Each structure stands twice: as C-alpha cells, then as structure tokens.
C-alpha cells in the first residue's frame, strides 16, 4: 500500500505542478474542470447512483454547470462574489449537518439532495480556482492554499497520534481528534508565518492590517478545510463505502485527495475578495 501511495504521488505531483505553474488561464480552467468532473463521477456514487450511466450523466451535468458558470461570469463578473458567497454559506450549513450526524440525515439522505450537495462542493471549488488564477502571483496563492491544507493534515496526523484521545467527530470520522485539530492549527500558523515573511520580504511588503487579514483568512480557511474532509467522510459513511473510488492506487479516489481543497479554495477566494486582500502585481 505504501509503495502504491508513493508511486501515485510521484505521478500526480508533476501533473499538478505543470497545471498550476505553467498552464494559461483557459487551459487551467479545463484542467480544473476535468478534475471536478472526475470528482463528480465519484460523488454520484457517494450520492447513491451506482449504475455507470447515471454516474456519467451526473458528471456531464456538473461539467455543463461549470461551462455555463464560465460563460456567465465572463459577461457578469460582478456576480463572482455571489458564487463564492454561496460556496462559503454551504460550508456553514455543512457544519450543522456534521454536528448533527447521525441525526438529521432525513434532510439530505435522498439521492437528488445528495447530488445537489455535490454541486455545492464542486462548482464553487472551480470558481474559486479561477478567481485565484486571475490574481497577481496566482501560483503563489494557489500553492499557499495547498500549504494550508497540507499543514492542517500533517499537524493533525502527528498531534493526533500523540495526544488524540478526545474525538473531534466520533460518529463521522473516529480517527480525528481535537488534539489533531489544534495541532493542525498550530502547524498552519507556522506555515502562515513563514509564507507571510517570505511574501513581505521578497514579493509584496505587507502592512499590519494586511498581515492581520492574511492570518484571519488563513485560520478560517484551515478550519473549513477540516470540515471538507469531515463532510466527505460523513457522506461515505452514510453510503457505506470507504473510498470515493479506486482511481488512485493507494489513495482511493480523486475526491479523497481534494475534499479539503474543495472546501478551502472557494472560502479563501471569498474572503480575499470581501476583505480586499491580495498580492500586488
């Protein structure tokens, strides 16, 4: 299993690096849309659609939504904030669903509702990526969101192994603990300090206000990234499956790799927009 995980990571890492650093906007949009469409095929299974034709149809619907969103936002850029706000609001609702589980499933157990929730995850993720890609130093911003997610995961893993007795959400993901959460937060703050110092020194000097906003956005994004993982775990547990698919040997499915990013990206982009924070070109 470990060998499979390493080999899969060695294949995926160059693809992601090329996609983030070297693809122009249009090709990047297609790249992220492809990832979201594969994720949609997997989400259809999580939603309870087991037949391959129904999963393909759902993936097509999600791709069509991305295409329509791209055309609409190209002509009506002022609506971007509403897309991102809706994506952020969904994660607030998701918190309530996770907190209630295993209660409250009657609200979202129906397959069409679960399918709709997949749109709430995947479409804002794509829109968030597009917003970040169009910002000055876009690659740095996207890499930073990834560092937030990776920092949270890494800190949670080690702190959870050492001190993880009090469970964060035992009915959803028994392996997650409050110690892991706080360990992930501390790790993320260290990442923020190093990244912020590097940006301030080498890219764009930050005022005190900018630094405080930067930290606030980071903390909010880290918290929501944890929620992204919990939501997928809750949906899979309800469905009775361990992984979203077996597309990535040793890693499960695409959704299993991007669940935290799917939550973090639109939230990070939304608060960048409403708090007027960014990097100067």
Beta strand extents in the chain (DSSP E only): 167-169, 173-177
The whole-model pTM stands at: 0.95
Residue 251 has pLDDT above 80, yes or no: no
For position 15, what pLDDT does the model report? 86
Place of tokens 């009915």: 171
pLDDT band at 261 (very low <50, low <70, confident <90, very high): very high
* Mean pLDDT of the 131-146 span: 96
Mean pLDDT along residues 215-237: 96
| N-terminal to C-terminal alpha carbon distance within the chain | 44
Q: Which pLDDT does position 33 carry in this prediction?
A: 97
205: left (phi over 0), alpha (psi -120 to 50) or beta: beta
Region of 143 on the Ramachandran plot (φ > 0 left; ψ -120 to 50 alpha; else beta): alpha
pLDDT value, residue 9: 64
pLDDT at 238: 93
The percent of residues above 90 in pLDDT, for the chain, comes to: 84
What's the rounded Cα separation, in Å, for the pair 200 and 195?
9
Asked whether residue 39 carries a pLDDT value surpassing 90, the answer given is yes
* Side-chain-facing half-sphere of 179: CA atoms under 13 Å: 13
Q: Has residue 110 got a pLDDT over 60?
A: yes
Strand-pairing partners, residue 173, are 169
Separation between Cα atoms, residue 256 and residue 248, nearest integer Å = 9
pLDDT at 18: 87
Rounded distance between C-alpha atoms, residue 129 and residue 20, angstroms? 10
State the average pLDDT over residues 247-264: 87
Cβ count near 109 (within 10 Å): 12
* pLDDT number for residue 2: 46
Per-chain mean pLDDT for the chain:
93
**Residue 7 has what pLDDT?**
66
Residue 3 pLDDT grade (very low, low, confident, very high; cuts 50, 70, 90)? low
């Amino acid at each position: 299993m470990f060998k499979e995980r390493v080999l899969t990571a060695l294949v995926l890492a160059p693809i992601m690096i090329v996609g983030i650093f070297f693809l122009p906007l249009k090709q990047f949009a297609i790249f992220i849309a492809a990832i979201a469409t594969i994720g949609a095929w997997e989400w259809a299974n999580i939603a309870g659609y087991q037949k391959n034709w129904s999963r393909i149809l759902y993936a097509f619907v999600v791709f069509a939504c991305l295409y329509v969103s791209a055309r609409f936002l190209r002509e009506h850029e002022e609506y971007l904030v509403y897309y991102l706000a809706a994506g952020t609001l969904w994660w607030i609702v998701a918190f309530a669903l996770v907190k209630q589980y295993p209660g409250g499933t009657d609200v979202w157990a129906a397959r069409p509702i679960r399918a709709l929730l997949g749109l709430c995850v995947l479409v804002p993720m794509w829109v968030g990526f597009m917003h970040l890609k169009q910002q000055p130093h876009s690659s740095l911003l996207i890499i930073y969101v990834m560092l937030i997610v990776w920092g949270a995961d890494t800190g949670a893993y080690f702190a959870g192994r050492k001190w993880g007795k009090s469970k964060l959400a035992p009915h959803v993901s028994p392996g997650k603990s409050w110690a892991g959460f706080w360990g992930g937060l501390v790790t993320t703050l260290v990442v923020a300090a190093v990244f912020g110092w590097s940006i301030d020194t080498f890219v764009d000097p930050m005022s005190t206000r900018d630094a405080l906003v930067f930290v606030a956005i980071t903390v909010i994004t880290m918290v929501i990234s944890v929620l992204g993982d919990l939501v997928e775990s809750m949906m899979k547990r309800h469905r009775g499956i361990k992984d979203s698919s077996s597309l990535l040997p040793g890693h499960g499915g695409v959704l299993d790799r991007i669940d935290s990013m799917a939550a973090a990206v639109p939230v990070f982009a939304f608060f960048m927009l409403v708090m007027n924070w960014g990097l100067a070109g």
